[in-house]
Structures are given as C-alpha cells and as structure tokens.
Structure 1
Amino acid sequence: MRHLITTLGLLGLSTASGGLAQIIGVPLPFMLGPLAVSALVATVLPHRLPVGYGFPKHLRLAFIAIIGLMIGAQVTPALFTEAHDFIYSFAALTVFVALAHGMGYAIFRRLGGYDPVTAFYASTPGGLYESIALGEAAGADMTRLMLQQFLRVIVVVTAVPIGLSLWLGAPVGSSAGMTLARADVPWSDLPVIAIAGLAGLGLGHLLRLPAGQLTGPMALAAVLSLTGVIGLDIPQWLVNMAQMVLGTALGMRFTGLNPAMILRGAGLSVVSVAMMLALGGGFAFVLHRITAEPVDVLLISFAPGGVTEMALVALSLNANPAFVTLHHIYRILLTVLGLGLITRLRERRL
C-alpha cells in the first residue's frame, strides 16, 4: 500500500511540475518537469521513500506502448518515398556510432579516470540495457556504468529540445503548441487503444524486437495504418500522461546514489553528450544538403538518447517521428552488434 501511495504522490508532483513547466515555456514540459522533480526527490529525499521502492515497470511499459502506437500511426506510404535517402543517412549513422563510441571512451578513460572496461561500456551511444548487461559480465564498475548510461539519456532528452529552442529563437515542441495527438478522441476509442497496446507489447516480446516495448506497438500500428484496417488516434491528454510517467521513471533512476558521484558523472556526461551532439550535428548539416531532410529531424535522428525518449522529442517537435525512430533502431542495432562482437573477441583473447 505504501508503494502505491508513493507512486500516486510522485505522479501528482509530476502533474503539477509538468503544468508549471508548460506555463513557463520549457520545451517538452510534460517530460522535463516531472524528470526534474522526481530526480530531486530521489537524490534529496530518498529517506522518504519506502524501503525497496522502485517506480512500477508495468506502468512505464504501458505508456511506452502508447507512444509506440502513436508513432506507428504516422507511418504512411509517403514515408517510403524517402527510402532512397536512407542509404545516405544509415551509412552516416554507421560512421557516427564508431566515432562517437571511440571519442566517448577517450573522455571516460582520460578525463574521468575510469578503468578500460567501465569506460568502454559507459561510452556506448545506444543500447542502454545491453551495455549494462554486457558490462556487468565483463566486470565493469556497475554503479558508474549505470549512472553514465542513464545520464546519457537524460542529458540528451534535456539538451536537444532546449538547444533547438535557443537555436530557433522560440520555444519548440508542446510548449509551442506542436502535437500529433488529437484533443477530440472519444472515450469509446480507449478500449481499442488498450487492446492494440497490449497486442503490440506481445508482438515485440514474441519477435524479440529491439526496444520491443516501443517497436512492437509501433509495428502493429504501422501495419494497421498502411492497410487502412483501422486508424489509431491517441488523445492529447494520454500523450501528456505518457510523458509524465516516463519523465518520472527516468528521474527515479537516481534513487540511493551519492550526490557527489552524480555531479561528477553529470559533468562527464555533459562533455560526452556535447561531443556526440556536435558530431551528429555535423552529419545532419551534410545530410541536409544531400537529402533535403530538415536539419532538426536529422539531428534528432543522430542524438544518442533512448528510442522512446527521442521518439517523444520528435513527436513534440512534429519532426517525422517514424523517420527518427527508424534511425534510432538502426543506431541501437549497430551498437549492440558491435558490443557483442567486441565482447566475444575480448573473451577469446582472455
């Protein structure tokens, strides 16, 4: 019961912080507001949380599925007219992953003083859970590895919308009224949305898709959209709730961590992410000249955040979320395949 009350209390704080963030014009307010408040609770008031408390995974999965459905519903035949440009962006992503990982390793090894194994798995530009699992098996410092991987996602999710707002000179995303959701979806559509979400989660698990909790529902909604069987419209209030839940879940990752370690890790993460974003920005400007795809869409496609979180950024910015998500799935596949290969080579050498 105490865990349930704590979860409801956190969601209440998230609702208030999301509303406040929207009022003051913060980009992606319904994610960044709850993220900041829940991170504050996790680091300053961890003694107020019940013993062994963790934000409910099933609640997070349910709302990730909602985001997946919304992205999949944007997949139309028009997306495939751009397929000939994917060869350029995918080739650039392949180079980006290798360069970003190598430069990140140098930062954590030389600037952070991490041991080689921890620095290697902490510097991956994707594959959060795979990096943690393989790093643990290889003997990495798990506290530092988990901290850096979660901070990578959080810094990217925070920096990208704020950076784009500063670059464009005006608020972007939902704080500027951008949305792909609808405000007039009838309540009678909610059972259909729930069934589609559950079916999509099952599909992702059955097929073992990368980031299956997102890509399973996305694939199902895409098929429904392309075949014209049914059109899935997600209400705006449900999208806002999804952002609040995911922001709260991210912030609660800091529970129990030493504040000094968090600050040091945050400094290293800012340097690492700045390097990756600068590298991705360079690729984005070059690809813009080749493909005519908007620079902001390409930048988000290269940003080394989590698939779900970056999909939310794309949704908020009205920046072709299906295009962005396809590139993030490819980035994560590349990262995980590279990690697996290097891990096996290392094991053979040892």
Structure 2
Amino acid sequence: MNTTIAQPLIALCRFLPTLALGLIGGGIAYWLRMPLPWLLGAMITTTAASLMGLRLRSPGRGRKGVLVVIGVMLGSAFTADMSGDLLAWLTSLAIMLLATAVMMLFSVWFSRRVAHHSMDTALYAGVPGGVSAVTGMALDSNADLRVVGMTHAVRILILLAAIPPLLSGIGHVSLQPTGMSLDQWLWLPSPKDAAWLAGAGLLGAWLGQRLHLPNALLFGPALISTGLHLSGLTHASLPPSLIAMAQVVIGVSVGVRFAGTSLAEVRHTLIMATLQAVILLLIAIVAAWGIHALTGVSLAAALLAYMPGGAPELSLVALSLGIDPAFVTSHHLLRITVLILVLPLLLHYLKRVHV
C-alpha cells in the first residue's frame, strides 16, 4: 500500500478506540440530558481516562478536518437578514481587547511572581486563546512547553465545565439537548447544498493558509461560508450527526491533552493553571456584565465572546446553543489576530525591562 495513504489509515485506526470512548461518553451524557452532551461527555470521559493512566491517541489530522467543518458551520450563522447594532458590536470589540490586556497583565504577573515560571513560559502560557498558534510560537522560545500546554488545556477544561452553570444562572438560555428522531439525526442537505458547503471548506482551508490567517483551517472556511450565506447562494446548514461528531472530536481533543500526566508530577502546574484560569474567567464575567449593562448586548453571547481561550470550542458552543455565533466568532477572531501580532513585541519588551 502507498505510504502516503497507509500512514493516515494507521493513525485513524489507532485513534478509533479514543473516538469510541468519546462517543460513549457523549451518548451517556445525551441520555442523561446533560447540557452540551456530546462535547462535555466526550471531554469528561477522555480526561478521566487520561488522568487514570490510559494512553489515548490524539485526533491528529482528524482535528484539522473538524476545524474546517466548524468553520463552515460558523459561516452559516451569517445571513443576509442579520440585524444588530453596529455601535454596540464595535464597543464590545473594544472592551474585549481591553479585557484581554488586563488578562495578559494578570497572567504574566501570576506566572512570574506566584508560579515562578520563566518569562517565556509566563507569556505563552498566559495568552487567553489561540492554543495551537501560541504553542507553535513557543517552540522557537525558551518556554517550558509542558507548562504552556498544560495551562491552556486546564483553562479550556475549566471554561467548558463552567459554561452550563453560568448560562443557567443567567437564565433565558435553554441548555437541555433537544430530543431528535432518527430521521432528524440522519438528515442530509441536498447534493447542490452539500457541494456548496464542501467547496467552502476546501477553498476556505486553502485560502486561510495562503493568507496566513490565525487558526487558518477554522477562519478560512468561515470567511468563504459567510460570503456564500450572506450572498444568498446557499442557506444550507450541516447535518445534526456531523455537528455532534464535531463536538465529540473537540471534546476528545481537550481530554487527550492530559494523556501521560501524573498528578503527583504536575500537581504544582495543575494548581497554578487552575487558579489562573478561574481568575481569568472572573475577569471575563465582569467585562461581559459591563458591556451588557452598557449596550444591552446579550450577556450569554458576551460571556462566550470574552472567555479567555478556545476559539473552536467556544464558537462551537455558541453554534450548538444558538447564542449569536457570528458575534462570538468575530470577537475570538479579532483577539487571536491581535495577540499573534503583539506577542513577539511584548516578549521583547518584557525581557528588556526584566519583569
């Protein structure tokens, strides 16, 4: 068999037990009528298995495919009949950048003075979002990559776990999974609509990489899909079964980040990452409440938009719950773009002043 074909097939076969575990967790959570069942169920089961010592496989390239799917899904949230207060959006984006600056200042201070990490580690571990891009940038630095990866993984885990109680506390947001018939689960778009959606994914992934967009496989397809839906060329959405599978793969992607982790060995890192994540979440809550009080923007949408990290995860949550995905995605795209541009300059400055 051709090596080019054989390697992805071997990787897929090795990942199948992990995927099965995620599907079982998601299925149980769906049966128990948990909020965000496929995402949280898969995340909880694979995280627990990882911490118990099971060697779970990462989705690898499969996660890249899921990012493309989520990007196409996000684009479908932008429609020609969208209404919204442009001034409120611009004000919210400005407040989000201010909140991000506060988060960065706190994260660097906390990592340096409390957790006693190096400056490189403190900066890359403290970035509120863009884990894939940030980890890639950290490879060329003196950062402790294990601390960086663990800090981001713990933060995303805490954010996703916090969403149901936070949104329940707000009210007016239905978190209960909607029961669907078998016909609804098996629904597929027409061949024409399927072609539009597939084209948006393929062209968007290529364009995102050519333009060097942050999280190119997510935001590239989102841009093309947005153009198709805003122009009215298609109004297609993705099948529920594909959306559920995307949630499972994202949930598994979070859980497997703890594979090979000994609680005794990384206790300090886990404790520091947890404390940092909780305080960043509190900053996001305060900022979201402030913009809601100032402009009347949906508090639920502001919370998801301001949460420190996980653009694919939080955008997927917004899509799954119908909480203004266009608003949430726009905020995360702007934040990670600004952070990627600013990070090298910030690291140079902080090292120069010996913070």
**2:177 alignment partner, SS class:** helix
Q: What residue in structure 1 maps to residue 20 of structure 2?
A: 12
Mapped partners of 1:326, 1:112: distance in 2: 32
Mapped partners of 1:232, 1:206: distance in 2: 26
Deviates more, 1:234-243 or 1:111-120: 111-120
Change (3 A) 1:174 1:63: farther
Between Structure 1 and Structure 2, which shows a larger proportion of helix residues? 1
1:69-108 to 2 correspondences below 5 Å:
69-79=72-82, 81-108=84-111
Change (3 A) 1:305 1:347: closer
Superposed CA deviations along residues 237-263 of structure 1, whole A, max 9, x for unmatched, are: 110011011111221122223323454
User: Structure 1: which amino acid aligns with 2:155?
Assistant: R
Deviates more, 1:232-241 or 1:188-197: 188-197
User: Structure 1: which amino acid aligns with 2:264?
Assistant: A
Q: What residue in structure 2 maps to residue 285 of structure 1?
A: 289
* Cα deviation, residue 116, structure 1: 3.1
Deviates more, 1:220-229 or 1:261-270: 261-270
Change (3 A) 1:101 1:229: same
Mapped partners of 1:273, 1:349: distance in 2: 26
Q: What residue in structure 1 maps to residue 5 of structure 2?
A: none
Percentage of matched positions with identical amino acids: 29
Q: What residue in structure 2 maps to residue 144 of structure 1?
A: 147
Superposed CA deviations along residues 182-228 of structure 1, whole A, max 9, x for unmatched, are: 75434645454333322221121122111111111111111001111
Q: What residue in structure 1 maps to residue 277 of structure 2?
A: 273
Q: Is residue 25–residue 171 contact of structure 1 (8 Å, CA) maintained in 2? A: no
Q: What residue in structure 1 maps to residue 250 of structure 2?
A: 246
Mapped partners of 2:237, 2:126: distance in 1: 38
Superposed CA deviations along residues 250-304 of structure 1, whole A, max 9, x for unmatched, are: 2112222332345443332332222122212222122112221111111111001
* Cα deviation, residue 115, structure 1: 2.7
Mapped partners of 2:151, 2:170: distance in 1: 29
**5+ unaligned residues in a row in structure 1: which ranges?**
none
Q: What residue in structure 1 maps to residue 43 of structure 2?
A: 35
Q: Is residue 79–residue 323 contact of structure 1 (8 Å, CA) maintained in 2? A: no
**1:17 alignment partner, SS class:** helix
Change (3 A) 1:187 1:247: farther
User: Structure 2: which amino acid aligns with 1:273?
Assistant: A
- Tell me the TM-score normalised to structure 1 length: 0.87
Which of the numbers 229, 235, 239 marks the counterpart of 1:231? 235
User: Structure 2: which amino acid aligns with 1:173?
Assistant: L
Deviates more, 1:62-71 or 1:116-125: 116-125
Q: Is residue 132–residue 145 contact of structure 1 (8 Å, CA) maintained in 2? A: yes
User: Structure 2: which amino acid aligns with 1:12?
Assistant: A
Mapped partners of 1:171, 1:301: distance in 2: 16
**1:152 alignment partner, SS class:** helix
Q: What residue in structure 1 maps to residue 345 of structure 2?
A: 341
* Cα deviation, residue 64, structure 1: 1.5
The answer to whether 1:126 aligns with 2:129 is yes
Mapped partners of 2:29, 2:238: distance in 1: 22
Mapped partners of 1:83, 1:327: distance in 2: 13
* Cα deviation, residue 87, structure 1: 2.3
The answer to whether 1:218 aligns with 2:222 is yes
User: Structure 2: which amino acid aligns with 1:129?
Assistant: S
**5+ unaligned residues in a row in structure 2: which ranges?**
1-8
Question: How many residues are treated as equivalent by the alignment?
Answer: 341
Q: What residue in structure 1 maps to residue 4 of structure 2?
A: none
Q: What residue in structure 2 maps to residue 302 of structure 1?
A: 306
Change (3 A) 1:150 1:243: same
The answer to whether 1:321 aligns with 2:345 is no
Mapped partners of 1:317, 1:263: distance in 2: 34
- What is the CA RMSD across the aligned residues, in angstroms? 2.6
User: Structure 1: which amino acid aligns with 2:143?
Assistant: A
